[in-house]
Structure 1
């Protein structure tokens, strides 16, 4: 597929250059389908464990349940983006808007829940101001999650209404909204990431100063989840900013940037698979998973063998 992009010549004038785009549609479509399958299975098992696992810290449990729901909602849109890469958009204008809404609802709620989890751990470990009453903790955590979902769904509706299907079957932004774009990027990306990094640095410092570090082992799950989010989504958002601000000098530079963009995009989408895998690394989750009658090896053997 040929496409044009704007570059700058030696005299500072903007010129238009035609380049041959690399075809990533098949690879991206296949990877997205794998991501969808792994995410649904992993997050489904994670929710099953969390709803029956009573010996887990209550507030963290509530946040991880909401995080798993965010990942499932995000994953629900992934097969349609896989089909989009393989065959363009053939589902009409309404479903274009709907799946953009689903996509961003999962994305925004995920980063907000991660921020809330980190702030919760910061208040408990560093400030030591979290209430001791379990029912009050539960109400505060549920209230925070309700606010997160209302905000996430509302902002996603705004994003969805900007989309439409073009004449050449592309589900894309129908009009430019630079003010909204430059407002959303800091608010939905840089501010939460800054809060998360600050809180985790303070938590690590407090743990290193603590005489009893073993009681903070539960923090490892939250910390790993946060690190996984930054590793998966950080490069993709950086590449998006580079594509917005940097003007490649020739087609070769444009091709390299395009390759990096597609790799980082697949890495970002794979984040919806990461949280179940990270949780399963802990001994408590693995032992609880194996303790379920439906997942015991003897039960599986009776179901498989005649």
Structure 2
């Protein structure tokens, strides 16, 4: 058997499989009677998963309803609607993995074994790609306001989102290829059955580069350009409307950093097998938490929370998404008028 990447592989059998890949004895028989309730970490992860499922489905469902049906369709609502759809789909498949966490027995068949892993990485790639798109969109609006005002259309935004999803699906395909089930001692495990260590290493590195490192480098460059441009134009106060976008980016970074750190540590054998196994279990749960945090950010950062406390939650989310759109509109209109005044002096 080949090494698993531990994506939602919380069962002790998978960690024994990992040790077997490093030429250590494989003995699964003493794990058959393991029960989740006997492990503190397992119970904590169970509670975390349940919270993610409930808040993720409700929160993202509300955002989808507001951005998709209650608000006027704009470029901005197109970005955030797609982001909420990605998180909602992931949270909808999480109950299957939570059941697997508790029982250590995958009863949902080979297709769902592949599909749940595929959805996790689809969520990872689509989320970060959308954050890159939004960052580039903000950057272009600040640098080329006149061009952006004429070229930013809902149709073009929809095409860009579609391409981002296509790219995300393409990078998530390895889960459909290498994810597999195995029957042993009356239980079924869902794991990654790579044909070689080189394949495992290549896929892990590819996920890190395209799903984490490169996107954040692009985002950082965009934000540095935005900050420099606005400060040079003495518009530093205009950075305030970017707080939601900044919070979304930092939340994604902090949630996914532990997972990628331990994946790379697994490849380099920088820690013991037990530390890597525990780190990947915790890292995967933290990464999953990103899917329910976005709607919370919309609520608490869309406008001053204390001033808007009497408003409904739905109004907060609508205001949050709307504020981002209004901010971009201001950047498109203010500089264009400045450019017009400048042109009359020539």
Same fold (TM over 0.5): yes
2:125 corresponds to which of 108, 113, 122: 108
Match of 1:78, SS state, is: helix
Q: What does residue 283 of structure 1 align with?
A: 303
Q: What is the CA-CA distance between 1:27 and the residue it aligns to?
A: 2.5
Alignment of structure 1 residues 207-286 onto 2, 5 Å = 207-248=230-271, 254-281=273-300, 282-283=302-303
Match of 2:180, SS state, is: strand
Instruction: Confirm or deny: 8 A CA contact 2:227 2:236 kept in the other structure.
Output: no
User: TM-score if structure 1 supplies the norm length?
Assistant: 0.79
Instruction: Confirm or deny: 8 A CA contact 1:236 1:265 kept in the other structure.
Output: yes
CA distance in structure 1 between the aligned counterparts of 2:281 and 2:130, rounded to whole angstroms = 26
Q: What does residue 163 of structure 1 align with?
A: 179
CA distance in structure 1 between the aligned counterparts of 2:190 and 2:18, rounded to whole angstroms = 20
CA distance in structure 1 between the aligned counterparts of 2:239 and 2:155, rounded to whole angstroms = 23
Match of 1:167, SS state, is: strand
Q: What does residue 33 of structure 1 align with?
A: 50
Q: What is the CA-CA distance between 1:15 and the residue it aligns to?
A: 6.8
Alignment of structure 1 residues 21-60 onto 2, 5 Å = 23=39, 24-51=41-68, 52-54=70-72, 58-60=74-76
CA distance in structure 1 between the aligned counterparts of 2:268 and 2:315, rounded to whole angstroms = 53
| Superposition CA RMSD, Å | 3.1
Q: What is the CA-CA distance between 1:260 and the residue it aligns to?
A: 3.5
Instruction: Confirm or deny: 8 A CA contact 2:140 2:148 kept in the other structure.
Output: no
Match of 2:149, SS state, is: coil
Q: CA 1:203 to 1:240, structure 2 compared with 1: closer, same or farther past 3 Å?
A: same
Deviates more, 1:206-215 or 1:161-170: 206-215
1:206 aligns with 2:237: no
User: Where in structure 2 are there 5+ consecutive unaligned residues?
Assistant: 1-11, 32-37, 317-346
User: Where in structure 1 are there 5+ consecutive unaligned residues?
Assistant: 8-13, 293-306
Q: What is the CA-CA distance between 1:222 and the residue it aligns to?
A: 1.1
Alignment of structure 1 residues 160-199 onto 2, 5 Å = 160-168=176-184, 169-175=188-194, 176=196, 177=199, 178-199=201-222
Q: What does residue 303 of structure 1 align with?
A: none
Q: CA 1:207 to 1:246, structure 2 compared with 1: closer, same or farther past 3 Å?
A: farther
- Equivalent residue pairs, number: 279
Q: CA 1:143 to 1:4, structure 2 compared with 1: closer, same or farther past 3 Å?
A: closer
Q: What does residue 79 of structure 2 align with?
A: 63
Q: What is the CA-CA distance between 1:129 and the residue it aligns to?
A: 6.4
Q: What is the CA-CA distance between 1:246 and the residue it aligns to?
A: 2.5
Q: What does residue 151 of structure 1 align with?
A: 167
User: TM-score if structure 2 supplies the norm length?
Assistant: 0.71
Q: What does residue 97 of structure 2 align with?
A: 81
Match of 1:28, SS state, is: helix
CA distance in structure 2 between the aligned counterparts of 1:109 and 1:77, rounded to whole angstroms = 16
Q: CA 1:181 to 1:289, structure 2 compared with 1: closer, same or farther past 3 Å?
A: closer
